[in-house]
Amino acid sequence: MPDPGKLTTTVSAKGQVVLPKTIRRSRRWEAGTRLAVEDTDEGVLLRPEPAFAATDPADVFGCLARDGPSRTLADMEAGIMAEARRRHEGH
């Protein structure tokens, strides 16, 4: 009798493998999840690919246009404090 904690699957004629539902559910791998496949000494490793490509901050710095002068650090801190006060008053 097979070990109940050990799950198995079969490779199809097309090379497809169905991952057991318990594994997909525990990993939150929904249909359409892209997985990176890595061949290791231990076996085959599946890892979800990131939803977005890695980005270098230098590549996106300044990409959001803004009309008017730049905000100062004091302006930003005042805005954060005003929002914190607004949220705190709502409770």
- More confident site: 76 or 61: 76
Mean pLDDT of 72-86: 95
Which H or E run contains 10?
Answer: none
How many CA atoms lie within 13 Å of 13's alpha carbon, on the beta-carbon side? Answer: 0
Angle 47-52-55 from CA coordinates, rounded to 5°: 115
Q: Could you read off the pLDDT of 1-49 as tens digits, one per residue?
A: 445 578 999 999 999 999 999 999 999 999 999 999 999 999 999 999 9
Q: 35-60 burial, b if ≥16 CB within 10 A, otherwise e?
A: eeeeeeeeeeeeeeeeeeeeeeeeee
